[in-house]
């Protein structure tokens, strides 16, 4: 089956784009997968542990991505949390690949924040219901400019997040339980990954509550930084 020409759509498709450092081009956003519990210290602070047998994933819609410097404070929550994460950007299609083949599909990386309505997530967890409304709301995935690093597997580098100038999260990518190549290989066994797909690779300890007016700054060594304010 061929893809229809864009002139055949009943309205113009909305494609989110991520700006790229040193380029005028945009990275088109496809599917977004996020890993849960990938740093032991964060798994512990959430009352769980890293799943050593298999990683688990959830999704956010592409419209969750934002590069706004001022983000409206989300509605329907009394407990919004920050989770700083390394984001992997894919440039090519892959399915059922071993870890050794993952690097050839990597376009680059970015700094992301997995904004989470922790109160809604706790209710969903308790009821055994999906996390979508606590994780996939508007502007729930602020992201930095992309750093092009084709073919590079990133396995170390400082990762940190500050709120109003105070360090809240500080760790190293080397503390990830499931590495970038292992995560993407695993995911590719279940889903065909395509150019534009993003993988949020989990957060270290130190997640905390955000309030209207807070200024959030996130950084990953050699990748970049991200700064936004929540407007109440």
Phi, psi of 6 (to 5 degrees): -60, -25
Q: Which residue is nearest to Mg ion (CB)?
A: 114
Closest among 82, 62, 66, 80 to 203, alpha carbons compared: 82
Judged by CB, which is closer to Mg ion: 135, or 148? Answer: 135
**Separation between Cα atoms, residue 109 and residue 149, nearest integer Å:** 7
Q: Which residue stretch of 40-48, 75-83, 187-195, 220-228 sits at the interface with Mg ion (rule: CB under 5 A)?
A: 75-83
Q: Which helix (H) or strand (E) holds 182?
A: helix 180-188
Q: Which residue stretch of 108-116, 146-154, 162-170, 222-230 sits at the interface with Mg ion (rule: CB under 5 A)?
A: 108-116
Cβ distance 94 to 101 under 8 Å?
yes
- Binding footprint of Mg ion, residue count (CB under 5 A): 3
Considering only residues 6 through 25, tell me which ones interact with Mg ion, judged by CB under 5 A: none
Supply the minimum distance, in Å, between the C-beta of residue 42 and Mg ion: 8
- The pair of structure tokens assigned to 77 is 């929550």
**Separation between Cα atoms, residue 55 and residue 38, nearest integer Å:** 8
Judged by CB, which is closer to Mg ion: 34, or 102? Answer: 34
Phi, psi of 41 (to 5 degrees): -70, -35
Supply the minimum distance, in Å, between the C-beta of residue 89 and Mg ion: 17
Interface with Mg ion includes 114 (CB under 5 A)? yes
Considering only residues 180 through 219, tell me which ones interact with Mg ion, judged by CB under 5 A: 203
Binding site for Mg ion (CB under 5 A): 83, 114, 203
């Amino acid at each position: 089956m061929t893809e229809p020409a864009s002139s055949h759509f009943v309205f113009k498709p909305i494609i989110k784009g991520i700006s790229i450092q040193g380029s005028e081009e945009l990275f088109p956003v496809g599917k977004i997968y996020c890993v849960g519990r990938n740093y032991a210290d964060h798994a512990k602070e959430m009352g769980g542990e890293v799943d050593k047998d298999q990683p688990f994933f959830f999704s956010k819609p592409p419209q969750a991505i934002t590069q706004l410097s001022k983000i409206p404070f989300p509605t329907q929550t009394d407990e919004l949390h920050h989770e700083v994460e390394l984001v992997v950007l894919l440039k090519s299609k892959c399915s059922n690949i071993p870890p050794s083949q993952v690097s050839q599909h990597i376009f680059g990386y970015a700094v992301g924040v997995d904004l989470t309505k922790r109160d809604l997530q706790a209710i969903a967890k308790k009821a055994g219901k999906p996390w979508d409304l606590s994780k996939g709301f508007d502007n729930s995935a602020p992201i930095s400019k992309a750093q092009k690093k084709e073919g590079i597997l990133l396995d170390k580098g400082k990762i940190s997040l500050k709120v109003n100038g105070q360090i809240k999260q500080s760790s190293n990518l080397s503390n990830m339980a499931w590495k970038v190549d292992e995560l993407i290989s695993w995911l590719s066994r279940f889903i065909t990954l395509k150019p534009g797909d993003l993988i949020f690779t989990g957060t270290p300890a130190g997640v905390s509550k955000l309030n209207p007016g807070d200024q959030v700054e996130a950084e990953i060594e050699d990748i970049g930084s991200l700064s936004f304010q929540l407007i109440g």
